[in-house]
Amino acid sequence: MFEVLMTTFLACSIAGGVFAVLSFAMFDRLLKQVWTRSESAWTDLGKPVGFFWVPPGTKNAGLTKAAFARNDLFSQWSAANGESLLEDKQGAARLRRYRRISSWCFALGAVQLVTAVTLLFSGHG
pLDDT in tens, 47-68: 888 888 888 877 765 567 777 7
Which pLDDT score, from 0 to 100, does residue 83 have?
58
Rg (CA), the chain: 18
d(CA 10, CA 57): 40
Which pLDDT score, from 0 to 100, does residue 14 have?
92
Q: What is the model's pTM? A: 0.78
**84 exposure class (CB count in 10 Å sphere: 0-12, 13-18, 19+):** exposed
DSSP state letter for 80: S
Distances (CA, A) of 109 to 76, 118, 125: 19, 14, 18
> In this structure, what is the dihedral angle of CA atoms 69, 24, 95, 14, given to the nearest 10 degrees?
-140
